[in-house]
Amino acid sequence: MSNNRSGLFIGGLMLGATIGALTGLLAAPRTGRETRKLLKKSADALPELAEDLSTSVQIQADRLSASALRNWDDTLERLRIAIAAGVDATQRESEALQRQNPADPENTDSLTQHLEHS
């Protein structure tokens, strides 16, 4: 998650620097010709800046995707373990009920009733 935050920070920093530079150029006490030259240089640099930002966002998205996949795999494994534990507990409870009432032909019904009340 810290990688995601650092990517967002870098993207925000780049965007803020661009906006700040443009604002500074427009408010600076320069002649129109000098300001236009600086604006042209800044405009020429924008595609490269956009590409860098796009690459940074893509890298962060890939990291987030890989992290989500790892978390999903961990969740599935914990779910499998929980289901196995539930099946095991149900089997032990069924065996315990059968030991208590071995001659009862309705052991299945008593197990169902017992599990419903638990």
53's CB contacts (< 8 A; 6+ apart) are 11, 14, 15
Tokens of 50: 């956009």
Tokens of 65: 């995707």
Higher pLDDT, 106 or 35: 35
Share of the chain above pLDDT 70, in %: 80
What pLDDT does 10 receive? 79
1 pLDDT exceeds 50? no
pLDDT (tens digit per residue) in 40-77 = 887 787 788 888 888 888 888 888 888 888 888 889 99
- Dig out the tokens for 110 from the structure: 């008593």
